Amino acid sequence: MKTQYGVTHYENFPVASVLCPPRLRPAVSAIYWFARTADDLADEGQAPASQRLADLAAFKADLHHCAAQRATSGRWDDVFRPLQPVLQAWRLPLSLLEDLLSAFEQDVVKQHYDSQSELLDYCRRSANPIGRLLLHLYGVQAPAALAQSDCICTALQLINFWQDLSVDIPRGRFYVPADMAQRHGMSQTELREQQLSNANRALMAEALAWARDTMLRGAPLVKQVPGRASWELRLVVQGGLRIAEKIERGGHTSLLRRPRIGKADALLMAWRALWM
């Protein structure tokens, strides 16, 4: 999927898929492009950190102008023009969109995490708001459902981290918490060298178990989301679990290569989704 930066993003899971009710697709797409564009401001291109932070601040100002139905700067009309009616019609919680921007700002200035709790706080702002926004569109607001959504979104974020090690580490991004690495006698220097060892395989096994357990705590949410959305969520959950499985069956070598969901995986995911 290509953005305004000319960057084609590989997506594990389709956005506004055929399983999404047609009436919700404009809202889902508007939310996606808001998040995708802000993420690119933080990560893509050659701009220095100061420029990235300034751009994100301008993007946030445009969000507030959009929510107040005032004119934006015009820099991101392709984002805010479709987002404005969605904000008004669905009364989206602005705080969730602000949480996303907070996480993207953090990406500019923070490249490693000392603890699992520190990484979970990042996931709370970088991933969980998406699930809560989608539940808002579906009218699901029960506290237990929101907690399960948080588990699914956090798990997807963690699995994406473990999937992308071979991409993130050369860019200087270390999402493996230092406390987990230290338990296995690993350091950032050793991870940067991207040399496979029993220690980093054991580290990845623990990281995958953490993500999988988190996903399974959230999985019962599929029975609370109405209609076709339940099937889309089932496939999202199974897609995350399938990536984790592929990392595991590949010998925990995502430090060297990025596993992907392919067409051959679709039938298996659909079968597993049916039996959830």
Going from N- to C-terminal start, the domains of the chain cover 20-94, 110-274
Strand partners, 2: 8
* Angle (CA) 136 3 131, round 5°: 20
Indicate the residue type of 179.
Answer: D
Model pLDDT, residue 10: 44
For the packed helices 128-138 and 116-126, what is the interaxial angle rounded to 10 degrees? 40
All residues at 6 or more sequence positions from 58 whose CB lies less than 8 Å from its CB, including other chains? 73, 75
Please report the DSSP string for 170-214 in residue order.
GGT-B-S-HHHHHHTT--HHHHHTT---HHHHHHHHHHHHHHHHH
Helix residue ranges, H only, the chain = 25-43, 49-67, 77-90, 94-109, 116-126, 128-138, 143-163, 165-168, 178-183, 188-192, 198-218, 227-249, 263-274
Q: pLDDT (tens digit, 0 to 9) for every residue of the chain, 276 residues total? A: 334 444 444 454 445 466 788 899 999 999 999 999 999 999 988 999 999 999 999 999 999 999 999 999 999 999 999 999 999 999 999 999 999 999 999 999 999 999 999 999 999 999 999 999 999 999 999 999 999 999 999 999 999 999 999 999 999 999 999 999 999 999 888 999 999 999 999 999 999 999 999 999 999 999 999 888 899 999 999 999 999 999 999 999 999 999 999 888 999 999 999 999
Res 9: pLDDT: 47
CATH superfamily entry for domain 110-274 = Farnesyl Diphosphate Synthase (1.10.600.10)
Q: Minimal CA–CA distance to 35: which of 116, 119, 129?
A: 129
Residue 98 has what pLDDT?
A: 98
The structure's pTM equals 0.93
* CB distance 174 to 111 below 8 Å: yes
Residues 6+ apart with CB under 8 A from 148: 217, 218, 219, 220, 221, 224
Query: Which residues make beta-bridge pairs with 96?
Result: none
